[in-house]
Structure 1
C-alpha cells in the first residue's frame, strides 16, 4: 500500500482520545456473555460486536455533524503531510480515514444522497459512546446514534495473533473501510432493517456482507480520493495488499471463529457470514466498484 508523501492530511475527521480515560463496562451484549480469559474470551466477544453495524437494540439518529476533538496523549494532530508518516507510523490511520471518507463524501452526492461526516475515534482500553461504554475487547465498531467509527488499534495485534490473519496496512484499511460501510448503510436506512441477529440468512449477516462489499467498492476507488490540492492519499495497491485484505475478511468469518472457539461450526449462530462469503462479497464490491452490486438484502444466495 503506497501512501502519497505529498498528500495534505486532514485530522479534523480523526479523534485521538488515547490516554484520556473515560468509559467503563461494556457495550450492551458484551458483559452478559459468560466467557473466560485467553483466546476464547477474546474471540467470543469479537464475534458479537467485531466489525458490527451498531449495537443490538440501538437505532439511528444523533447529531447531523459531530464535533471533532483531539484530546488524548496519542494526539494525531501532528499528521499534517504525507511525509509525517516517517516520524509517526500512526499517521497511516489518518491516511485511511481521509481516503475512505473522501471517496464516500464525493460518491454519495453523485448519487443524489447527502453525505454526513463520521469521525474515526481512536481510543485505548475503553471509551464512552452514544451506544454505551465499550472496552477494547469488542473490536472495531460503528455507533449509529453518534455516527462515529471506534477503533482501538491494538485490535490489529489480536487480528494476527488470535485470529490468524496475515495483517499489514491494507488489512487494517479493510477493517476501517468495513466500518465506514456501516455508516453508508446508516445513511441509507439499511441498519433499521436489522431484526434477526443470528442464522446464515439473518439480517445481521446480510448487513455485515453488504459492509464488506462497500469496503470493496472503496478499494476499487482507493487511489482516486484527493486532498484539497488534488493530490491522492493512496498512490497504489499491490496484489499482496489485496491478498492481505481478503485474508483479513476470511479471518473474521463466523465459521473460522467458531471452529477456533468451540471446535465445530454452528450456522444457526452466524452473525457475520462465513470466511468464503466475506471474501466473496468484498471481492464483488472491488470488482464492480458499483453500489448496486452490494444488494445482499435482495438475494437468496448469500
Structure 2
C-alpha cells in the first residue's frame, strides 16, 4: 500500500495513552476484537481462554452501553464519563509528526493515522446520516482503562461500544499475531485488524450489535455472525480504500496490492477459532467458537472485498455463515 504524499492527515481522533493510560470507568470488557490463546494444560477448548467477552455478556452483567435500535447506535448513555487525564496519563506526542501521506509512507505510526482517516472517510460516504466516527483510536502500553473496564495487552485489539473507541497495544502484531500464532508480518496485517475493529463500530451504529442477545457459541451463533460481519466490513473498506480522500479532496491511498490482500487473508486465518484451538494443542471444538473458523473469516473478508456492497455483509440475514 502506498499513501499519497500530498494528502493531509487528521490526528484529532488518534491518541497514544502511554503506559497504563486513562479512559472512562465501567463494567466488564465488551465489544469485539482479537484475542490471545492462553494454554491451561487441560487440552481441548480448555486450552484457550477467550479474553474478549462478547457484548451481550457485558450487558447481562449490567453494563448499559446506551445502544439504540437499527436506526443507529444511540448515545453513550450513563456508562461513560470521560476522566480528566494527567500529563503522564495523556501519553507521548507519538503522532505529533504525522501530518502528510509521505509521513505515513515512512512511519507505521503515521500510517495508522492515515488508515483511520481512510476508514472514517469511506464509512461517512457509505452511511451518510447514519454515520458518526469512532470517538478515538487509542494506542497504549501494558494496560488501559476504558468505559468497558480495564484491559491489559493480553486482550489484543478491541472495540468498546460504551465509549465508541478502538484500543490496541501495537506490540500485539509482533508478539502475538506473528510470534505466538505464526501469523503473517507486514503493514497491511495491522490495517486489516484496524478495519475489523472499525467494522464493529459500524455494526454498533447500524444496530447489529444489539441483535446479539444470547450467550450461545458455535459456527452459526450471533457472536460469530457479528465477528464475521466485521471481517466483511474490513474487506468492503479494502475494496474502496483507494477512493478515500482527505478533507481537501486529495486521495489518501494511491494503491493497494494483491500482496496486501494476501496479508489480510493470512491474518484472518491466523485468528480463526479452529486454528487457535489446534495451535494451543487442543482439538477442534466447533461448538465453542466465538469468532469463526479460519475459512469463515477468510470467506467473509473476501465477500466484502469482492462484492463491495454493504448489503452483502449482512451476516445476520444469511442462512449459513
Pairwise CA distance, 1:276: 0.3
What does the per-residue CA deviation read over 1:32-68, in whole Å, with 9 as the maximum and x for residues that have no partner?
A: x995699x9xx935x4429x76863345335499989
SS at match of 1:96: helix
- 2:189 corresponds in structure 1 to 171
CA distance in 1: counterparts of 2:139 and 2:56, whole angstroms: 17
Structure 2 residues not aligned, in runs of 5+:
31-35, 67-74
* 2:157 counterpart of 1:124: no
Structure 2 residue aligned with 1:92: 111
- Aligned pair 1:12/2:25, yes or no? no
Structure 1 equivalent of residue 160 of structure 2: 143
Q: 1:239 aligns with which of 241, 245, 258?
A: 258
**Residue number in structure 1 paired with 2:65:** 60
In 2: Cα distance, 1:274 partner to 1:116 partner: 29
Q: Would you say 1:49 and 2:52 are equivalent positions?
A: yes
Deviation at 1:224, TM superposition (A): 1.1
Q: State the distance in 2 between where 1:35 and 1:159 align.
A: 13
| Gap regions ≥5 residues in structure 1 | none
| Count of residue pairs the alignment pairs up | 291
1:83 aligns with 2:102: yes
Contact kept? 1:59, 1:192, Cα under 8 Å: no
Shifted more, 142-151 versus 227-236: the winner is 227-236
Is residue 128–residue 134 contact of structure 1 (8 Å, CA) maintained in 2? yes
Q: What is the aligned counterpart of 1:115 among 94, 119, 132?
A: 132
Q: How does 1:216-255 map to 2 (within 5 A)?
A: 216-255=235-274
- 1:206 maps onto 2:210 in alignment: no
Q: TM-score, normalised by structure 1?
A: 0.86
Q: Is the 1:60–1:144 contact (alpha carbons within 8 Å) kept by the matching residues of 2? A: yes
8 Å contact from structure 1 (residues 22, 126) kept in 2: no
TM-score, length of structure 2 as denominator length: 0.82
In structure 1, distance between residues paired with 2:37 and 2:191: 31
2:18 is paired with a residue whose SS is coil
SS of residue matched to 2:96: coil
Compare 144-153 and 70-79 and name the one that shifted more.
Answer: 70-79
**Pairwise CA RMSD:** 3.1
Give yes or no for contact 2:56–2:212 (8 Å, CA) kept in 1. no
Kept in 1: contact 2:15–2:138 (CA 8 A):
yes
